[in-house]
């Protein structure tokens, strides 16, 4: 009655993540305060081991546990993405937690559990399993967002995140219940063959779409994003803007590609949502003075770009989504890590004007930030440029000329606010003296890795793009 050993191989990344999550919690009380780096190291080891485990499970494609989860190139690709995000977030958060006096093992355990949840989401073949994965990642995120317990702003952002997040989850659930009512099954692969009630099925899929649209912060369900991103601890913001978003997009893609009814129904919804999301993000970002808030709106805009590729509804589009998720995770993680470091104790320096004179006083930091901003804007030689190029290409292949035009217009709009930060950094005289804190080693490593990744993908995208194209073929 035990599961075959093959099934365990297929679940290796989640098993490793959960085991290390529990180990971190167990180790925490035994590690003296002064040596708290050990706990962080253990967590880092866990995230790294999860990447290795992903490599292991790659060799065992197929479905596991009565068809509830499936290991294929698509799920492996996203496992690598969320695993790498976990590694970078853990690396980047240790010094932050020390600085803010928040250092507790639970933080890392939650990051590992959240990553396990995302792993389940990207390989789920069935809606109950997907739902549990979604909840594991969401609930961990709520707790992480409220980790700065003594800061009212952080409490408030966690509260909003929690209330709107669980509201969205309840929509998702109602949708799943209706889909089950229409087809009698929660297995994605069986939904089309079941002689169901088409209206009910469409309605349920529509509500699932709404629930997931909340999670990826696409318009008109993006209102929570700026508040949550601004109030959460910055390393958590970095996590929220990359990992869970990638996982939610993956789940959307999976449903979209497996259930024929969904692909018919969602096309227009995605078209409209993509257009709205791009404008909502970019126009609001223009008037922001807080860097975190500006980056939050920019991440809404990027969700819109990804939806454009989504709307293309072909394999090039799916590959473009996957490539962009990687590029986007790299540049957003880098940017938020830099913001974390520059924020200083208590996250005080977060206004764009605080960055005046950074170019002359901390040239290295300014150079890194400039690179990320260029990539977010989509200038050549960066990952962001090629990501946008692939999306553009996919949209044109599907004759979505208007959407491609809107994407181009939005890129131009976004130039204003990205370049403004760079202008402030290099052209403006500093208002107050920077107490230049040296960049800690772990943070430096994150910066170097993300910057190198951004440049590498900008110059040599072929390897990743091939992998993405190969992963874009979803078995039905």
Partner 1 sequence: MSLELVLFFVLAAMAIGGAVSLILQRHPIHSALSLIVVMVALAGLYLLLGAEFIAAVQIIVYAGAIMVLFVFVIMLLNAGVEARTNVSRMARYVGLPLGFFLTVELAYWIAGGAGRQAPVSAGPTPTRELARMLFREFVFPFELTSILILIAILGAVVLAKKET
Partner 2 sequence: MIPTSHYLFLSLALFTIGVIGVLTRRNVIIILMSIELILNAVNINLVAFSRMFGNVNGQIFAIFVITDAAAEAAVGLGIIIAFFRNRPTVLADEMDILKW
- Residue with smaller CB distance to partner 2, 107 or 323: 107
Of 87, 179, 207, 285, which lies in the binding site for partner 1, with binding defined by CB under 8 A? 207
The contact pattern for partner 2, residues 159-198, with x = CB under 8 A and - = no contact, is: xx-xx--xx-xx--xx-xxx-xx--xxx------------
Q: Is 210 in the site for partner 1 (CB under 8 A)?
A: yes
- 207-233 exposure pattern, b = at least 16 Cβ within 10 A, e = fewer: bbbbbbbbbbbbbebbebbbbbbbbbb
Q: Residues in contact with partner 2, total (CB under 8 A)? A: 39
User: What is the nearest approach in angstroms of partner 1 to the Cβ of residue 331?
Assistant: 29
Q: Is 354 in the site for partner 2 (CB under 8 A)?
A: no
Tell which residue, 121, 123, 231, has the closest CA to residue 169. 121
Q: Is 218 in the site for partner 1 (CB under 8 A)?
A: no
Q: Which of positions 391-430 make contact with partner 2 (CB under 8 A)?
A: none
Alpha carbons 264 and 196: distance in angstroms, whole number = 16
CA geometry: angle 79, 83, 89, nearest 5 deg? 150
Alpha carbons 225 and 300: distance in angstroms, whole number = 8
CB atoms within 10 A of CB 163: 12
CA atoms 280, 286, 288, 292: torsion sign: positive
Q: Which of positions 158-197 make contact with partner 1 (CB under 8 A)?
A: 164, 181, 197
Tell which residue, 340, 450, 320, has the closest CA to residue 393. 320
Q: Is 68 in the site for partner 1 (CB under 8 A)?
A: yes
- 406-427 exposure pattern, b = at least 16 Cβ within 10 A, e = fewer: bbeebbebbeebbeebbebbbe
157 binds, among partner 2, partner 1, none (CB under 5 to 8 A by kind): partner 2
CB atoms within 10 A of CB 129: 19
User: What is the nearest approach in angstroms of partner 2 to the Cβ of residue 249?
Assistant: 22
Q: Is 262 in the site for partner 1 (CB under 8 A)?
A: no
Of 52, 59, 149, 441, which lies in the binding site for partner 1, with binding defined by CB under 8 A? 149
Alpha carbons 117 and 115: distance in angstroms, whole number = 5
User: What is the nearest approach in angstroms of partner 1 to the Cβ of residue 275?
Assistant: 17
User: What is the nearest approach in angstroms of partner 2 to the Cβ of residue 326?
Assistant: 30
Write out the residues near partner 1 by the rule CB under 8 A.
1, 3, 11, 18, 22, 25, 64-66, 68-69, 104, 106, 109-110, 113, 116-117, 120, 128-129, 132-133, 135-136, 139-140, 142-143, 146-147, 149-150, 164, 181, 197, 199-200, 203, 207, 210, 220-221, 223
């Amino acid at each position: 009655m035990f599961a075959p050993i093959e099934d365990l191989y297929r679940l290796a990344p989640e098993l490793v993540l959960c085991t290390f999550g529990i180990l971190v919690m167990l180790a925490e009380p035994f590690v003296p305060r002064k040596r708290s780096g050990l706990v962080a190291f253990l967590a880092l080891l866990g995230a790294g081991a999860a990447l290795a485990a992903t490599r292991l499970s790659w060799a065992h494609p197929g479905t596991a546990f009565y068809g509830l989860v499936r290991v294929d190139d698509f799920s492996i690709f996203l496992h690598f993405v969320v695993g790498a995000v976990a590694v970078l977030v853990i690396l980047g958060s240790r010094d932050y937690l020390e600085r803010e006096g928040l250092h507790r093992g639970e933080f890392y355990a939650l990051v590992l559990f959240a990553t396990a949840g995302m792993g389940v989401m990207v390989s789920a073949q069935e809606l109950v399993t997907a739902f549990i994965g979604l909840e594991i990642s969401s609930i961990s995120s709520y707790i992480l967002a409220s980790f700065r317990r003594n800061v009212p702003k952080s409490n408030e952002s966690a509260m909003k995140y929690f209330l709107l997040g669980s509201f969205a989850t309840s929509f998702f659930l109602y949708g799943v219940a209706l889909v089950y009512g229409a087809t009698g099954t929660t297995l994605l692969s069986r939904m089309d063959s079941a002689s169901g009630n088409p209206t009910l099925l469409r309605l349920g899929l529509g509500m699932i779409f709404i629930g997931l649209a909340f999670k990826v912060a696409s318009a008109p369900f993006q209102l929570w994003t700026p508040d949550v991103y601004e109030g959460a601890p910055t390393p958590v913001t970095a996590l929220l803007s990359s990992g869970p978003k990638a996982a939610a997009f993956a789940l959307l893609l999976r449903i979209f590609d497996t259930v024929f009814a969904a692909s018919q129904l969602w096309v227009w919804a995605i078209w409209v949502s993509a257009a709205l999301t791009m404008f909502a993000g970019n126009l609001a970002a223009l008037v922001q003075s807080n860097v975190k808030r500006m980056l939050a709106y920019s991440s809404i805009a990027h969700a819109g770009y990804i939806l454009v590729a989504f709307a293309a509804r072909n394999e090039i589009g799916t590959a473009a989504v996957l490539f962009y998720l990687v590029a986007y995770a790299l540049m957003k993680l880098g940017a938020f890590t830099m913001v974390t470091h520059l924020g200083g104790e208590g996250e005080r320096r977060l206004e764009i004007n605080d960055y005046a004179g950074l170019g002359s006083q901390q040239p290295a930091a300014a150079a890194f930030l400039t690179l990320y901003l260029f990539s977010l804007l989509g200038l050549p030689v960066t990952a962001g440029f090629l990501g946008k190029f692939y999306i553009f290409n996919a949209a044109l292949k599907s004759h979505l000329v208007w959407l491609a035009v809107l994407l181009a217009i939005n890129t131009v709009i976004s130039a204003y606010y990205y370049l403004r930060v760079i202008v402030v950094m290099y052209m403006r005289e500093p208002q107050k003296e920077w107490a230049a804190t040296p960049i800690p080693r772990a943070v430096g490593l994150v910066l170097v890795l993300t910057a190198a990744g951004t440049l590498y993908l900008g110059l040599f995208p072929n390897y990743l793009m091939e992998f993405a194209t190969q992963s874009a073929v979803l078995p039905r």
